[in-house]
């Protein structure tokens, strides 16, 4: 297990967002030890606005110590406006091997549910089975862009091993929770040559699949056929989801008119 070594206080926590997972979101950690090299959009933004100076600093998470107090103050104001509160947009609520962050996330979700608000959760860590005891309206998701563990070690160096991620999600599904998988940012064949159908089959138990392309990467623009590639992937995802009766969402910009 890893210890949190940095703490910060914030003045506000819940905010409105345009992401498709929830109409409101909260980020109770600054930074993320998963250190994804896709690259991570949150890291690029935090670096650009001077919130972190380096990749090493980004990978050293700072926990917002007044998270629960902020929720107590803000939930009464927001609870009638929020349809789904998403954890998290610029960090990971179940950061791998950080017990203290995971415990704070569970306490936060409990508090949010007690205010009558449901949560959506997205992680590249391990979703604890304790989540199955919380509101069954919550939706629990993991990101999987490949089944290749050596690729995962290279591109998501601090995140949980893929099979562990998958089996935790499967356990929640088995316990009657709503589950979903984000296959995003999906890599092009010049980054890793792999079979999308194998990725889809591995998550066939989940209730919903989100698929999206890789952005902000030089490797993508150097792959000349990327538009056709993503159009073909989208077709395969939609066919798979329709065949297995799954809800799906294709992220904006993934399909291109050629
Ligand atoms: S898990 Fe998400 S927030 Fe964390 S480094 Fe990866 S992309 Fe960024």
Per residue in 75-92, pLDDT (tens digit) is: 999 999 999 999 999 999
Going by alpha carbons, the residue nearest to atom 6 of ligand 1 is: 36
pLDDT score for 234 = 98
Q: Residue 70: CB within 6 Å of ligand 1?
A: no
pLDDT score for 23 = 94
Distance 116 CA to ligand 1 centre (A): 28
The string of DSSP letters for the chain reads -----EEE--S---EE---TT-SEE---EES-TT--TTT-HHHHHHHHTTS-SSHHHHTS-EEETTHHHHHHHHHHHHTTT-SEEEE-SSS-TT-TT-HHHHHHHHHHHHHHHHTT-EEEEEESS---GGGGGS-TT-EEEEE-S-S-HHHHHHHSTTSPPHHHHHHHHHHHHHTT-EEEEEEEEEPPTTT----HHHHHHHTTTSSEEEEEE--S-HHHHTSTTHHHHHHHHHHHHHHHHHHTT-EEEEPTTSS---
Q: Residue 112: CB within 6 Å of ligand 1?
A: no
| Residue in 21, 36, 210, 212 to alter for ligand 1 test, most ligand atoms within 8 A of Cβ | 36
Distance 95 CA to ligand 1 centre (A): 9
Q: Residue 34: CB within 6 Å of ligand 1?
A: yes
pLDDT score for 184 = 96
pTM: 0.96
pLDDT score for 98 = 98
The segments of the chain whose pLDDT lies below 50 read none
Distance 61 CA to ligand 1 centre (A): 11
Going by alpha carbons, the residue nearest to atom 3 of ligand 1 is: 91
Going by alpha carbons, the residue nearest to atom 7 of ligand 1 is: 40
| Residue in 40, 46, 121, 217 to alter for ligand 1 test, most ligand atoms within 8 A of Cβ | 40
pLDDT score for 18 = 76
In whole angstroms, what is the distance from residue 170 CA to residue 178 CA?
A: 10
pLDDT score for 8 = 98
pLDDT score for 173 = 98
Question: At 235, phi and psi to the nearest 5?
Answer: -60, -45
Contact at 8 Å (CB) between 58 and 37?
no
Q: Which pair of tokens denotes residue 138? A: 């919550």
């Amino acid at each position: 297990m890893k210890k949190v070594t940095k703490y910060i206080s914030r003045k506000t926590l819940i905010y409105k967002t345009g992401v498709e997972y929830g109409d409101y979101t909260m980020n109770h950690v600054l930074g993320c030890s998963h250190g994804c090299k896709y690259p991570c959009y949150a890291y690029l933004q935090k670096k650009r606005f001077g919130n972190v100076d380096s990749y090493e600093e980004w990978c050293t998470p700072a926990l917002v110590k007044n998270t629960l107090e902020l929720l107590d103050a803000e939930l009464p104001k927001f609870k009638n406006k929020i349809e789904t509160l998403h954890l998290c947009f610029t960090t990971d609520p179940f950061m791998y091997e950080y017990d203290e962050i995971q415990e704070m996330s569970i306490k936060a979700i409990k508090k949010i549910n007690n205010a009558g608000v449901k949560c959506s959760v997205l992680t590249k860590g391990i979703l604890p089975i304790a989540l199955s005891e919380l509101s069954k309206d919550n939706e629990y998701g993991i990101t999987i862009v490949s089944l290749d563990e050596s690729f995962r070690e290279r591109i998501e160096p601090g995140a949980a091993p893929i099979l562990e991620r998958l089996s935790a999600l499967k356990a929640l599904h088995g316990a009657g929770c709503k589950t979903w998988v984000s296959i995003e940012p999906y890599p092009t064949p010049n980054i890793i040559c792999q079979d999308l159908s194998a990725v889809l089959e591995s998550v066939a138990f989940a209730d919903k699949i989100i698929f999206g392309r890789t952005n902000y990467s030089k490797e993508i623009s150097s792959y000349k056929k990327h538009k056709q590639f993503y159009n073909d992937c989208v077709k395969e995802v939609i066919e798979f989801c329709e065949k297995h009766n799954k809800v799906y969402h294709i992220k904006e910009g993934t399909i291109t008119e050629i």
